[in-house]
Amino acid sequence: QVQLVESGGGLVQPGGSLRLSCAASGIIFSRYAMGWYRQAPGKQRELVATITNYGSKNYARSVKDRFVISRDNVKNTVSLSMNSLKPEDTAVYYCNAKNVLLEYWGQGTQVTVSS
């Protein structure tokens, strides 16, 4: 059974930082590209950042230079370090695992940026 379990969300003030983690099980982790997506109330889910199984990274323009995605192929985890957070970063953040045939999603973790 495939599981992607996110953690690390919460309430943070503008300008603050958070680190999200996603623990994967039930897949050969090193064979999947991993990513973080987010969905704000009333909006479509959007890409935040992805990292291929070879470590190549891609970021949404709105988070580039503020967020950093990383992966650990031994611990089967992918993380998202978020700095200089803004109210517009408020959303549910979802972990994603994808290869040419299959795609999986986590349940999501809430991030709220507010004073």
The pLDDT value recorded for residue 70 is 98
- Contacts of residue 68, defined as CB under 8 A and 6 or more positions apart, other chains included, come to 49, 80, 81, 83
Q: What is the pLDDT of residues 19-36, one digit of tens each?
A: 999 999 999 999 999 999
The DSSP output letter for 88 is G
Share above pLDDT 70 across residues of the chain, in percent, rounded to a whole number: 100
CA dist., res. 40 & res. 99, Å (int): 26
Phi, psi of 46 (to 5 degrees): -130, 155
The pLDDT of residue 111:
98
Q: Is 73 exposed, middle or buried (0-12, 13-18, 19+ CB in 10 A)?
A: middle
pLDDT category at 37 given cuts 50, 70, 90 is very high
Residue 97, Cβ neighbours under 10 Å: how many? 23
